[in-house]
Structure formats: C-alpha cells, structure tokens
Amino acid sequence: MNYTNSHRFQTSVIVNVGEPIDFTEIQNKAFDDEKERVRAMTDLIYLRMSELVYYPEDSQHFDFIKDLKKLMVGVLDKELGLAEGNAAEEFKIRKRIVNEIEEIGLQNPQELKSLADRLHTYIADYQALGFRKYNPFEERAVNIMAKLFALFVGSPLFVLGAIYNGLPFLVTQRVYLKYFLPRVTKMDAQGQLNSAFAGSLGFSVGMAINLVWYILLWVVASLIMPAWVSFLITIALGYVSGRFAMVYYKWLIQAKKYFTWKLLAKRDVDAIETLLKEREQIIQGLLELRSKSK
C-alpha cells in the first residue's frame, strides 16, 4: 500500500499487487547451508516488493525525494497528460523519481546535495506563504471560473454530504491524530509505527466508524420508511454526497488559494517573481542533472 502522504489524514492510496514470486530456481539450487537458501528467498522477496513501493532504499534521500515529489509530480503530470487522480500513473512517476534520485546520488552526490538544499529552502518559503501541493500560478482562469460555478451550484449537495459524513469524519480524524500519528517515526523502535502501517490502521478505523454510522442512520430511517428503501437512500445519499463533499471542499480551498496568490502577486511583485524564478531554475537544474546521469 502506497499513501501519497501517510502523515496526513484523508490522502490517496494505491494498492499494488505484483506477480506471484517463483521460488523454483532457488528451491532446486544446491546450497551448502539452508540459511543461504532462506537468505536468497528473502532477497528475492525484497527485490520484488521494492518494485511496488515508493520508499527509497537510502534514507538520506528521503526528505529530498519528498520535496522533489511536491515540485515535480505536477510538472510531469502535465507533460505526460495525466488526469488528476490517476493514482496508478502517479505511482509510476513517483517510483521513477525515487529510482533516478538514488542513481544520481551515486554519480553526482555534491551537485545533488546542492540542489536538495535549494529545493528545501524553496519549499519552506512557498509553504510559508500558505501553499502546499496546489500551485495557483498554474491554474487557468477558465478552470477557476468553472470551479466557482460548481461551488455555487453544488452547495446544497455539499451541505447534505457534510451532514451525512461530518461526524464520522471528525471522529476518525480525532482517533488518527491522537492514537496513531504521534507514534509514527522513521525509526524502527518498540511502540512506534511505520508510516505506511499507521495509514493502513487509520484507514481501517475510518471504515469501521463509517460503517457503524451508516448502520445507525439506516436503523433510524427504517422507523419512518421501509427498511429496503431506507437502506438504498442511506447508502446512495451518504456515499455520493460524501464523495462530492470532499471534492467540493478541495475546490473551495483551491479557489481561496488562487485568489490569495493573486493578491500576493499584486502586493509583493518582486518577491513572487523571485520565488517563481527560483522554482524554474531548480527544475532546470534537476533536468540537467538527470540528463548528465544517463
């Protein structure tokens, strides 16, 4: 399981299922010690599983890769024409970034470190303005107008979705933040949770809480209408309106950030231009470093 950000609540996840691992060759091979056979099988499992997860083998590049994904995934999505939310293709991009950074780190470690420092500074400055993954300067005016129209027309469905799903969402978020997130570390220690495992636990808890909530709504609705009708209404309205409420909230935040960026661009022209210029230079430097390493 690969979470786009396992430290944040309600982020996307993709589950990769690889091909069955064939141990026939290892089983038929003669080993002086059975421990060597087990080690060979373990190495093969590690190799095959590493193809299905984001995580870099070298932990020293972990923070750099996180910063790089924030910067480059959107750029590559646009270049490749990927639709927003195409988790399978985005995984391939992220995995490719991880592999290439590890390769560049072996060939040009000093240049990579210099770019990593510049990128980290840029990300910090950009986030200090109140922005994160969404880049408002890349948003077309026609797209933001379409989102504003959808926000106006879809507000009743958003309210319905918030009513149906607000309570279980808040309860799940509270449980995750209180019991799981504080125990997430990058170290393997007693009582600590791996980030991916913590995300899986949070997802499971969320499913359980929402299931109980929908059952309660169904029971209450069954008091005033036939059970089968109340069941269909509860599931249809709850799920559809809940999914739309999430999209609605995302568009609302993006619209707010879009106009905030426009205001900043008018109020502090030089600072914004400097920030965007630094971004372009970092991207260009990364692409050049990538070309040299091929």
Nearest alpha carbon to residue 87 among 150, 1, 199, 22:
1
φ, ψ of residue 13 to 5 degrees: the values are -140, 145
Closest CA to 208 of 164, 180, 239, 172: 172
Spatial contact of 254 and 134, defined as CB atoms under 8 Å apart? yes
* Structure confidence by residue, pLDDT tens digits, 60-85: 677 777 787 777 666 655 555 555 55
Identify whether the C-beta of residue 214 lies closer than 8 Å to the C-beta of residue 238. Answer: yes
In this prediction the pTM is 0.67
- Residue 99 has a pLDDT of 76
Sign of the alpha-carbon dihedral angle for 122, 125, 127, 131: negative
The predicted-structure confidence for 120-130, as pLDDT tens digits, reads as follows 999 999 989 88
Q: What is the pLDDT of residues 205-244, one digit of tens each?
A: 888 998 898 899 889 889 988 988 888 888 878 888 888 9
